[in-house]
Amino acid sequence: MGRIAMISLHTSPLDQPGTGDAGGMNVYVIELAKQLARRDIGVDIFTRATSSSLPPIVEASDNVLVRHVHAGPFEGLTKGELPGQLCTFAREVMRAEAMHLPGHYDAIHSHYWLSGQVGALARDRWGVPLVHSMHTMAKVKNAALAEGDTPEPSARLIGEEQVVEAADMLIANTDDEARQLIDLYDAEPARVDVVHPGVDLGLFTPGPRKDARRRLGLPVDADVLLFAGRIQPLKAPDVLLKAVAVLLHEDPSLRDRLVVPVVGGPSGSGLEHPEALADLADDLGLDGVVQFVPPVDQAELAEWCRAATLVAVPSYNESFGLVAVEAQATGTPVVAAAVGGLPTVVRNGHSGLLVDTHEPRDWAHALRQVIDDPGYRDALSAGALEQARQFSWERTADRTLDAYRRAVEMMRDEVTVGG
């Protein structure tokens, strides 16, 4: 492998995770690209330009280039409107490749279905294999919608089916996602590979909790229940707030020691009512308990995780749940919904707790198990560190490279049979 074309159309790996459409996928793309570059593989990441001030090419790190493609208006386009710009985006990607000799790229790795549509066209034009990562799937999301959330449109379902059919290899984050690709999208099992995402174990490290709290301006003796992620119904931060309200109703004395930071910004359908979560906090009487914090970079997120007593991940669906791994890497237990990839990430009773429902009382019970028992919390903390060591970007890159090589072989066999 000499050079890979990565396509991340709808969100740039340079964007700040935690707001808009930027999240775990952004981290995934840039961290994987950096790891591939350390193996002497060049990576070009094609993404849509969202500002006229963006340079055409940004060197994100040695041998990793982010290429800003002009496709449609720079601002104001929602993700739902992006399919109308696929032709323009694809044309510009083709033009960039045409500036080089044939064979400039050895493989294409597309992320999310919109990118997969472009990747399928590039595959046929360049004669190189397409490897695709779904990250989220419409059929899965629609089966587990949060109350008041909007179903994914049929155009996305059809588009995902087309990408699954076109891809030489599909990379699933977990065994559960692999089964969904096979059962819901009729993917050929031989063309599905499971590669867990990783965590930066040099950045997300354990450290003195009190020191982290002092640096963040948090009370050193508080019970800090952290939510970190995009504020939208799918991520279910409201479940955490309602659970905290139950805790305070059951034991009003907890008000003196509970702090609930919500780190992130509105995203997706949450943009329709950006103040909804703050209004809910007021309605629940959580003033002085909930703190809203704008999105932070990875280094500061690690600090928030160190400072937390636990990290709550109450999502209705997660293909993996990167923040859960990041929290565990700092030695902080996770209380998570038992959905999607989270049971792969969190070992129930060992590195955290999995909750089978989204009922506030069930969540309040799980939270209380952690905050009321220091010995149990310490045991979970040790288990969290052990669990996180299973996930590294180095291992992710090695397994992804294997998938690339398998895709090359599969395409070569197809050409041989077809000839």
Residue 272, marked binder: no
Residue 10, marked binder: yes
Q: How far apart are CA 69 and CA 328, in angstroms?
A: 36
Residue 308, marked binder: yes
Residue 25, marked binder: yes
Residue 256, marked binder: no
Residue 39, marked binder: no
**In sequence order, what DSSP letters do the residues of 189-210 get, joined into one string?**
GGGEEE------TTTS----HH
Residue 153, marked binder: no
Residue 332, marked binder: yes
Residue 22, marked binder: yes
Give, for 355, the enclosing helix (H) or strand (E).
Answer: strand 352-355
Residue 148, marked binder: no
Residue 368, marked binder: no
SS3 319: coil
Query: Could you say which DSSP state residue 60 is in?
Result: E
Residue 263, marked binder: no
Residue 296, marked binder: yes
Between vectors from CA 264 to CA 44 and to CA 357, what angle results, nearest 5°?
105
Residue 412, marked binder: no
Residue 139, marked binder: no
Residue 318, marked binder: yes
361-369's contacts with Cβ under 8 Å and 24+ in sequence apart are: 361/243, 361/246, 363/239, 363/240, 363/242, 363/243, 363/246, 363/312, 363/314, 363/335, 364/243, 364/244, 364/246, 364/247, 364/250, 366/335, 367/225, 367/243, 367/244, 367/247, 367/310, 367/312, 367/335, 368/247
Residue 16, marked binder: yes
Residue 330, marked binder: no
**Residue of 142, 144, 117, 114 lying closest to 130 (CA atoms):** 117
Longest dimension (CA), the chain: 76
In Å, how far from its chain's centre is CA 174?
A: 13
The total number of residues shown for the chain amounts to 419
Residue 307, marked binder: no
* Binding-site entries for UDP-N-acetyl-alpha-D-glucosamine: 16-17, 24, 230, 235, 296, 318, 326
* Binding-site entries for Mg(2+): 306, 308, 332
* Binding-site entries: 10, 16-17, 21-26, 79, 112, 136, 156, 230, 235, 296, 306, 308, 318, 326, 332
* Binding-site entries for 1D-myo-inositol 3-phosphate: 10, 21-26, 79, 112, 136, 156
